[in-house]
Amino acid sequence: MGLPEYLQRFPLQTAVLILSLFCCSLGGKLEIRRIDSPVKALLDKIGVIPCHFFGYEPSVLDQSMISVGWTVSTSQNTEKRVYLFDGKIHNASRSGSYIPDDGLVGGDASLHIPNLQFSDEGKYTCTVIITPDKAISKVTLEVSAKPVCAVSDPTLVMNPDTEKSAKCYVTGFHPEKVTIQWLKASKASSDISDLDSRTCTSVAVQNKDGTYNVTSVLSVTPMSLDEDGDVYSCVISHRSLKDAFMVNVTLSVQPRGHSTIPWIILGLVLMAVICLITAAIMYKVKPRVSEITAKDLLHMTENTLNCQISGFRPKNLTINVYLEKDVGVKSEETSWSSGKPKRTESQSTDTEQAVPLQTRNDSGNLRLDPVITSYMHSYLFNCDCAIHITPEFQIHNRAALNLEVHHAALKSPIRRYQILKVKSIPKLDPIQSNQESYGVGDQLELTCRIHSCYPKSLQVLWYKDIEEIPSQNTEETRDENGLYPLTSSV
């Protein structure tokens, strides 16, 4: 194997000393566990796309030696980057996605995607590199929405030799393909018969949020009073359902001239149901607040943390975020309150973008970027809260980031906190020599100062051409920013 191209530029007679932070192969055969079947996930849930690699001992593997890349190929045959980890920095192109740090050394490079949308579907490619080895795995992600099923009337009250229609509404499902079948269970004979010849099913209609609706109609004509109590079942099969789902319609066959009391009772029941639904819409629901996503932050670089606030009603919400370096002492604070929503349309969902009613920010290093969404069929609201922070090591390392959520359904605010861990990438000064020119027999001494580093652990190597040569490192005390300097010499 020849010298790297950048080394071949120098004459062999010249002593070239190269300082590098290195990543070396530990030996072994890098492989990724194969996943043949698609990963199935539901809309608005967290999807985990597996990527488990092996062939290296975790005890001798360092996270900085691992690089992980995720890309996705969509139905339009376009490929785009989703996530990249280069051994030091996590870069999420898909908002909110992450790879947990604590699993990488153990061989887990699985991609976590919160709040899944239909646009996240596709064939994902996981590429793991542990120099010089490389492994690739492809996994298909399917995002589905479960159908909501209901019938027009759970009880059909009829006279013999009359005709009525039973309607089955199947709504909010994705993808479009769905199977609807009508079955009849006879009370008299316990027989179950297929009624496809007496049904008519509409073409699927697509909603603004990308889901579909279908209506299936069954024509019912009882021939005698013996059919009283027979049950008609609308059976729905869909990719999102583990087993087929059914809703029933019970046939009540009455002799002609029968009392209208059952209709009065039915009307009262319907009024009660309407009242219950109205009360449910007006009822206040407490928000659920996730933990703040934890990851290492980089010194003097804008980083983004996320917190999911979901399932609340009404939509008005206030979020306070502040930092505590010392317990009980707030050093920085910012707050955000939702206001009247502005309706926006997207291909994946009906959303409401909240316009800030009030925003207060006491620090340029900390700001909030929340987005409120609403799913009309549930009358509940969700908030994806992005927290942007540009940390300074001396000020923010080991500080507590506190988040408070205030809502009308809460007697006291919900609180979450995260201890910040700030890292700093080492900086290198130019290599210095002990004199400008040298003669035969002169002693050559080269030094290089490395500074602004945290954590302290650092490995420094010197090379003459491609041969490693001994060196000496002199540690210094922390600088005024709390970062570590080091001087290395040969």
Other beta carbons within 10 Å of 97: 19
Rounded average pLDDT over 374-382: 75
At 403-435, the pLDDT tens digits run 999 999 999 999 998 888 888 888 888 888 877
203: Cβ contacts below 8 Å, ≥ 6 apart: 214
What is the DSSP-derived secondary structure letter of residue 396?
H
Cα–Cα distances in Å, from 10 out to 3, 7, 19, 187? 11, 6, 16, 94
Torsion of the alpha carbons at 18, 22, 23 and 25, rounded to the nearest 10: 50
At 237-258, the pLDDT tens digits run 999 999 999 999 999 888 876 5
Overall CATH class of domain 427-489: mainly beta
| Predicted local distance difference test score (pLDDT) of residue 457 | 74
Per-residue confidence at 61, pLDDT binned at 50, 70, 90? Answer: confident
| Predicted local distance difference test score (pLDDT) of residue 52 | 95
Contact between 351 and 325 (Cβ < 8 Å): no
Rounded average pLDDT over 193-219: 91
Task: Find, among 161, 208, 197, the residue nearest to 347 by Cα.
Answer: 208
User: For residue 1, is pLDDT > 90?
Assistant: no
At 319-331, the pLDDT tens digits run 999 988 877 778 7
What is the DSSP-derived secondary structure letter of residue 57?
-
Is-same-fold flag (148-256; 427-489)? yes
User: For residue 2, is pLDDT > 70?
Assistant: no
Per-residue confidence at 279, pLDDT binned at 50, 70, 90? Answer: low
Phi, psi of 101 (to 5 degrees): -65, -35
| Predicted local distance difference test score (pLDDT) of residue 114 | 94
| Predicted local distance difference test score (pLDDT) of residue 377 | 63
Architecture in CATH of 31-144 = Sandwich (2.60)
| Predicted local distance difference test score (pLDDT) of residue 56 | 84
- Global confidence as pTM: 0.46
Architecture in CATH of 148-256 = Sandwich (2.60)
At 440-452, the pLDDT tens digits run 777 778 888 888 7
At 130-175, the pLDDT tens digits run 988 999 999 999 999 999 999 998 998 888 888 889 999 999 999 9
Other beta carbons within 10 Å of 335: 18
Give me the chain's average pLDDT, please: 82
Give the residue extent of every domain in the chain.
31-144, 148-256, 288-423, 427-489
Give the whole-angstrom CA distance, residue 70 versus residue 238.
29
Phi, psi of 271 (to 5 degrees): -65, -40
Lowest mean per-residue pLDDT among 128-132, 333-337, 346-350, 364-368: 346-350
Give the whole-angstrom CA distance, residue 13 versus residue 22.
25
* DSSP per residue, 284-330: -BPPEEPPPP--PEETTS-EEEEEEEEEEBSS--EEEEEEEEETTEE
Q: 108 or 265, which is more confident? A: 108
Out of 2.60.40.10, 3.30.1180.20, 3.30.300.210, 2.40.420.20, the CATH code matching 288-423 is: 2.60.40.10
